[in-house]
Structure 1
Amino acid sequence: MHLVEFDGSFAGWRQAARRLLHEGIAPHAITWRSGNEAPGLFDAAQASVPATAASARVRIPRQLLDELEAAARFRVADRWSLLYRILWRVAKGDVAARLAGDIDGSELHKRLKAVRREAHHLHAFLRFRPCQSEACGAEFVAWFEPAHDILASASLHFAERMGRHRWLIATPDGAVFWDGQQLQEQRPCPPAWRALAEQPVDEGQALWLAYYGSTFNPARLNRSVLESNLPVRFWRHLPEGPLIPQLMSQARAGAQRDGQAAAVARQAGKRIRAGVSGNADPDRPD
């Protein structure tokens, strides 16, 4: 077997893959190991296989390279071997390797879809909060736990939305900091950044929770749809997360008949008689 060690980045993998393609080394003869992986049990016994005849210059479609780079963000043990297998097949003229109907192409598209969905989760469920500390220089901080390595690519979304405001997003594996002009990534996440992001001080949280609870509509609750659009794994990092189980429990216990939060239902209000238009005076006799 041919053990290939690289830094764990797509750029590092691409450089190694280019060399292996040029040397004509087939996918089944390669074991990939990125810089953040522990040595395997049999790695010490592995030796490089002799290269076959060098192939001619290979041209790879730009779209395929973009797809491979996106699929490399999918966290799985064989992420690099699948990418090289597809690259090898396309380089040999088997363009079906990147199609959804192919066994490798199907896995590629499944990973691309999962990466896109996780990027959407970051955009939808990340909550910035004011940063009270000047230690990191950020005005807003957020904590997120992505299932895939989408932090650096997907977080540029907030650079467009928040202008020149400085912000920090920390995760268990790394962090990104926007200084108002450019994005900086650090791996691993500095402990000080993690502490700021996991327990930020947010003076407006109580107001937000009051608003969320009062606008929750139990009559429209559909648990399966809710959990599909807002997966449970994100609840504990959302300000309103602790409220959701309580509100769902109240809905199942009979609050659905009110169609609104109990505190709102108890408020006195003006009743409009049925059949009277919104522009008419309800107190005027017919």
Structure 2
Amino acid sequence: MISLECDNLFSTWREQARWLLSHQVDPSQVSWGATEVADLFATDQAIPDTPGPFQARIPKALIDLLASAACYHGDQRWSLLYEVLWRVSHGDRTAMLAGDKLGSELQRRIKQVSREAHHLHAFVRFIALPPEAGPQLPEYVAWHEPAHDILHSASQHFIGRMGRHRWMIATPLDGVYYDGEQLIHQRRCPEAWQQLAQNIDDPHSAMWLTYYSHIFNPARLNPKVMEGHFPSRFWKNLPEGKLIPGLITEARTGKQKDGQASLIGAKPGKRISSGQG
């Protein structure tokens, strides 16, 4: 068994996979893991430094698929990619397709990565730092907890939307900082970035919470659909998240029939009779 470590970098894995493929190393004979795992399963065989004789033509479409699926956090993260690569390089392109068992898992991972990128765009909440913070700090900061490695690629979305403003997104793993001209990605998010993003107070949070609570319509509540579009794992990092459990409880205990939030229903107004005459 050959055990390798790519430090969760697609570029490193790609070089390793190219070398393995050139030596016709079967997927069953290689694994990727942490250093201590590599020591446990390391091979006793001498590993050549130079590429092997086998050459394969790999379609660019496959490289794009593998690069996207590489962002997925899960079991056999890198081994699955090599198994797909192996089959396609030996003429079996069904490994790229959803109709194949392996291809189905590949496509599922790509879909999950794409969905997680959408979640970043939808649920990041930038908070403005006060002007006196100074030019050495970003103007806007945000904290986000993605399930997959989508921050670097998906945060490109905000460059056009935020103009020349300086902004930063910190996560438990990595972070990005846009200085007004270029996007800087830190694979290990600096602790100072994490502290800043998690501890800043939003001066406009009260106004936002008032707005959110007033537009909530209990008559249209569908918790299953809501969870599908707005997963509860994001609630804790959103200002409106603290309101959602209470609003759901309120809707379930009778407010759904009113079709309005309790604060709206309590306001005085003229009742329209439903009787005939």
TM-score by length of 1: 0.87
Structure 2 unmatched ranges of 5 or more: none
Counterpart of 1:139 in structure 2: which amino acid? E
How far apart are the structure 2 equivalents of 1:50 and 1:112? 32
Deviates more, 1:126-135 or 1:69-78: 126-135
Counterpart of 2:20 in structure 1: which amino acid? L
Give aligned pairs, total. Answer: 270
Question: Who is 2:66 aligned against?
Answer: 68
Q: CA deviation at 1:145?
A: 0.6
How far apart are the structure 2 equivalents of 1:134 and 1:148? 33
Q: CA deviation at 1:43?
A: 2.6
Counterpart of 1:102 in structure 2: which amino acid? D
Q: CA deviation at 1:269?
A: 4.8
How far apart are the structure 1 equivalents of 2:42 and 2:231? 44
Preserved contact between residue 119 and residue 150 of structure 1 (Cα < 8 Å): yes
Question: Who is 2:195 aligned against?
Answer: 195
Return closer, same or farther for 1:134/1:117 CA change in 2, 3 Å cut-off.
Answer: same
Question: Who is 1:186 aligned against?
Answer: 186
Q: CA deviation at 1:2?
A: 1.7
Deviates more, 1:141-150 or 1:39-48: 39-48
Preserved contact between residue 2 and residue 42 of structure 2 (Cα < 8 Å): no
Runs of 4+ in structure 1 over 6 Å off? 270-274
Return closer, same or farther for 1:200/1:95 CA change in 2, 3 Å cut-off.
Answer: same
Q: CA deviation at 1:262?
A: 2.1
* RMSD, aligned CA: 2.2
Question: Who is 1:151 aligned against?
Answer: 151
Question: Who is 2:205 aligned against?
Answer: 205
Higher Rg of the two aligned structures:
1
Matches within 5 A, 1:166-181: 166-181=166-181
Q: CA deviation at 1:45?
A: 4.9
Return closer, same or farther for 1:44/1:253 CA change in 2, 3 Å cut-off.
Answer: closer
As a proportion of its length, which structure holds more helix? 2
Structure 1 unmatched ranges of 5 or more: 275-286
Q: CA deviation at 1:56?
A: 4.1
How far apart are the structure 2 equivalents of 1:50 and 1:263? 71
How far apart are the structure 2 equivalents of 1:115 and 1:135? 34
User: Among 36, 39, 42, which residue is 1:39 paired with?
Assistant: 36
Preserved contact between residue 29 and residue 49 of structure 1 (Cα < 8 Å): no
**Are 1:228 and 2:225 matched, yes or no?**
no
How far apart are the structure 1 equivalents of 2:12 and 2:46? 21
3-state SS, counterpart of residue 91 of structure 2 = coil
**Offset from partner CA, 1:213-248 (integer Å, 9 cap, x none):** 111111111111111211111111110000011111
**Identity in percent:** 50
